[in-house]
Structure 1
Amino acid sequence: MIPFQPYSFAAPTTEETDYFDYFYDEPGSEPGTLNIEPTAKPSRIILIDYDENDAIRKVDMTPNALLPYLGKNSISWMDVQGLGSEDVLREVGDIFDLHPLLLEDIVNVPQRPKLDEYQDKLMFIAHMVRRHEEEDGFVTEQVSFILGKNYLVTFQEEELEDCFDIVRERIRNNQGKVRQQKVDYLAYLLLDSLIDGYFPILEHYEERIEDLEEKILATPERKLMQEIYSIRRELLALRRLLWPLRNVLNLMIRDDSDLLTQEVQIYFRDCYDHVIQLLDILEAYRELASSLMDVYMSAVGNKMNEIMKFLTVFTAIFNPLTFIVGVYGMNFENMPELQTRWGYYIVWVVMLFIAVTMILIFWKKGWFKTTYSLDEK
């Protein structure tokens, strides 16, 4: 048996991330056309077949090798990793009798999360999220589920590790009751793992918002405003993924299909509650991110007020000194002070006395105490 690998991801660069990209067909294209991306990974099929007594895992399966498992009483999970091999995908579609429009939604990514029922199969689409390894933000991957009588087919964009490893471990080690349940329970476990993957992402945004708020209060630089817009945009993209998923789960817990038992529909209600919780947290963070702009503008205003206060105090000190210098700079002949031997020094003493007195008065009134701190970097 091939060992299960630890959770790992490779993250694309920010330039490759488009949070608001949905696939659309070219005008006039034939329905069911598969558009394979040139950068799509080659398709690789991994099979996990299990019952109460045993579980096997096979990799690099061919589509025809899956046929014997369709008629078995055991539960079969066929995981297709990579959407770059059109021949393999069409063979899988023929074996499982997938409607051309259904296969089109699976291959032409990304699609909006949705639920469709085709004859004796149930198809639903969700999006798995993960953080960038080296940058802020997140990346998404579409995961499509085909639920049959005794089988579950999943389609992923990448052939790398995913958030389903914990489910694979449960199957392999016979933990919990997954091997005693039907295939709809397996679909629940996978979808629940996918939804739980959103919580670490939102925790990261909480940390980013708190850190950004501290930076804004310390040094309201222009680049921080750009980061505020980035956070708001990314949170909006997360909402765009979760809101339709909420509708999908709402339909699943009310579906009267024979593929979803009432017992498992109760578990899907738990997934629905998790999505509602995620949306509540998300809306709170969106409001915090929006308020950061007000904090930024207030911080900039406070900084400007401190600068204006300093200039005002500076001007107030030098105004009487400028007046004295201006008086004795007039070109009149009958100015008695100009003939005084110590007049120059007297004027200096008077000017210094006025300046020091005003500084002491301003200091006592607290006008030199700043209400805005600038952290040096």
Structure 2
Amino acid sequence: MPPRIPLTRPRPKKSQPPARKPIPVPIERSIDFCRVFVDGTGLPQNFRVAEAIELVNQHENAFVWLSLKAPNIEQMERLAELFDIHDLIVDDIVDAHQRPKIERYDEQLFMVVRSVHYRDDEEVADAREIISTGEVQVVTGPKFAITIRHNAPMPDLTASLEEEEEVAQVGPVAVSWVVANHLVDAYLRVAEYLSQDVDELENEVFTPKRQINIDKIYNYKREILEMRHAIDPLSPALRSGMINHKDLLRKPLRSYFRDVQDNATIASDRISGFDERLSSLLDASVAKVSMQQNADMRTISAVVGMAAAPTMIAGIYGMNFEYMPELGWKYGYTVVLIIMFGVMAAMFWWFRRNHWL
């Protein structure tokens, strides 16, 4: 038999257009500034990255400070080629969400510090937005310092480094101190704001006959817990860095880092104290609400008890019996009403005497 001919011919497959490669974003899109320091003094103008590297290589005691805002993987890979940054550092920078730490890779030092930003509860609609955290990373090498910020507003701190000429002459590692000092000072300012807020919450809880907002207390406790997670690991990280990396953190710079560590410990202890106070406020608020509910139930029970006696008398005389005492008495109705109100008055006096009403 001859082979069967298919009724429909197979349609030729359409060729798929080649996938478009994403357009690489230039490094300059993520750069906040690029400054050069020579002998502890910053040059006034900003440079392009290649120009800064070339200028630094012409001086013995010079380094470039490059500040970036949330670079992507392609941008960091290009910068890693220019500055010979370790691959593990590049991965941590791009992934972000790191704990405060100080790590060393050969002659490069990688530091992570979390930032904390406070906004007054009157300025935000949701109490969960009172405290927001970000992340600032610092990579230092023999001739460069790179700061990377993720969801963290950072001012230009080059002037702060220039003011401390002794520290700036140490080299690029001084940038780590300037960044850490700025962020830890922000911790102390936020602690002052939170101290005022916690004092106001205490006044609300312990002021008589004032409405208690337990949700607000819980939201503040949750925000403070987030802040604790951000700042508590910093002090141990700084202590470990000063002990294990003394060759990179020279003696004059270690004194400044110890001051930052002390301030970080103070801020951590204050925030921990606020957390404990808020826990006590939550317990006190729950107890106060329970006592108020008990008092309300006692008042309701007293009112119901006052109404029970007249109801009982009215119920008895509402029964349809033919032979009952005082049914035909002329003053029976008046006397029964007087007895009802008298019983209610006696019960009211007794309840007030025992503070039920």
TM-score (norm 1): 0.74
Hey, what does 2:107 align to over in structure 1? Answer: 120
Hey, what does 1:362 align to over in structure 2? Answer: 351
Answer whether contact 2:111 2:176 (CA < 8 A) is retained: no
User: Which residue of the other structure, out of 135, 140, 144, is the alignment partner of 1:147?
Assistant: 140
Kindly state the Cα deviation for residue 139 of structure 1 after the two structures are TM-superposed.
2.2
| Code of the aligned partner of 1:140 | T
Kindly state the Cα deviation for residue 195 of structure 1 after the two structures are TM-superposed.
1.2
Distance (whole Å) between structure 2 residues aligned to residue 230 and residue 294 of structure 1 = 15
Hey, what does 2:276 align to over in structure 1? Answer: 287
Q: Aligned to 1:187, what secondary structure does the other structure show? A: helix
Shift of the 75–229 alpha-carbon distance from structure 1 to 2, 3 Å rule, reads: farther
Kindly state the Cα deviation for residue 298 of structure 1 after the two structures are TM-superposed.
0.9
Hey, what does 1:90 align to over in structure 2? Answer: 77
Moved more, 342-351 or 212-221: 212-221
Shift of the 295–42 alpha-carbon distance from structure 1 to 2, 3 Å rule, reads: farther
Hey, what does 1:337 align to over in structure 2? Answer: 326
Shift of the 56–299 alpha-carbon distance from structure 1 to 2, 3 Å rule, reads: same
TM-score (norm 2): 0.78
Distance (whole Å) between structure 2 residues aligned to residue 57 and residue 153 of structure 1 = 18
Structure 2 segments unaligned to the other structure (5+ residues): 1-24
Moved more, 243-252 or 352-361: 352-361
Please tell me the root mean square deviation across aligned C-alpha atoms, in Å: 3.0
Q: Aligned to 2:248, what secondary structure does the other structure show? A: coil
Hey, what does 1:260 align to over in structure 2? Answer: 249
User: Which residue of the other structure, out of 304, 309, 312, is the alignment partner of 2:298?
Assistant: 309
Distance (whole Å) between structure 2 residues aligned to residue 187 and residue 77 of structure 1 = 13
Looking at both structures, which has the greater relative contact order when contacts are Cα pairs under 8 Å and sequence separation is at least 6?
A: 1
Per-residue CA distance 1:117-168 (angstroms, 9 max, x = gap) = 122221111111212474343222221112233542212236x851x54x43
| Code of the aligned partner of 1:281 | R
| Code of the aligned partner of 2:69 | G
Distance (whole Å) between structure 2 residues aligned to residue 187 and residue 230 of structure 1 = 33
Identical positions, percent = 23
Hey, what does 1:16 align to over in structure 2? Answer: none
Matches within 5 A, 1:186-201: 186-201=175-190
Query: How many residues in Structure 1 have an aligned counterpart in Structure 2?
Result: 322
User: Which residue of the other structure, out of 42, 62, 67, is the alignment partner of 2:53?
Assistant: 67
- 1:49 equivalenced with 2:50 (yes/no): no
Answer whether contact 2:63 2:171 (CA < 8 A) is retained: no
Distance (whole Å) between structure 1 residues aligned to residue 98 and residue 40 of structure 2 = 38
Shift of the 99–182 alpha-carbon distance from structure 1 to 2, 3 Å rule, reads: closer
User: Which residue of the other structure, out of 187, 212, 231, is the alignment partner of 1:242?
Assistant: 231
User: Which residue of the other structure, out of 304, 316, 322, is the alignment partner of 1:327?
Assistant: 316
Hey, what does 2:20 align to over in structure 1? Answer: none
Kindly state the Cα deviation for residue 201 of structure 1 after the two structures are TM-superposed.
2.5
